[in-house]
């Protein structure tokens, strides 16, 4: 496998709009080469008879069933509000737009 070149890192940096120094280009080229090598080793180990998995152990759904339950009435929800208008919270205007 060929090593990632400094020019390839510079190209990726330009695409990402990153300004990298010459030292950073050399440093990242070496790091990216190690990462690409690690990914290649994983690809070599993967066997066709092993199904893809996202977790080492089986997971069970821990969510409760979605059931409708009574909620707050508008009066109860607005009972602690400092200001109410037309069954809604009244808040100070933050934009200079006309209503």
pLDDT tens digits for range 74-94: 999 999 999 999 989 999 888
Q: What is the pLDDT of residues 24-44, one digit of tens each?
A: 999 999 999 999 999 888 878
Q: Which domains does the chain have, with CATH numbers?
A: 6-45 (1.10.20)
CB atoms within 10 A of CB 28: 18
Percent of the chain with pLDDT over 70: 94
Question: Residue 78 in contact with residue 89, Cβ under 8 Å?
Answer: yes
Cα gap 10→25, rounded to integer Å: 7
What is the pTM assigned to this prediction? 0.44
Mean pLDDT on 6-20: 93
Residue 1, class by beta-carbon neighbours within 10 Å (0-12 exposed, 13-18 middle, 19+ buried)?
exposed
> What pLDDT, on a 0 to 100 scale, did the predictor assign at position 20?
93
Separation of alpha carbons 9 and 31, rounded Å = 10
Rg of the chain in Å (alpha carbons):
29
């Amino acid at each position: 496998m060929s090593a990632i070149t400094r020019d390839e890192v510079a190209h990726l940096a330009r695409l990402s709009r990153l300004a990298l120094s010459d030292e950073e280009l050399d440093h990242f080229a070496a790091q990216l080469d190690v990462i690409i090598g690690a990914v290649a080793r994983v690809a070599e180990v993967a066997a066709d008879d092993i199904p893809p998995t996202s977790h080492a152990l089986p997971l069970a759904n821990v969510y409760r069933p979605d059931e409708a339950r009574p909620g707050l009435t508008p009066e109860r929800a607005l009972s602690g509000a400092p200001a109410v208008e037309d069954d809604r919270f009244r808040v100070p205007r933050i934009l200079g737009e006309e209503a």
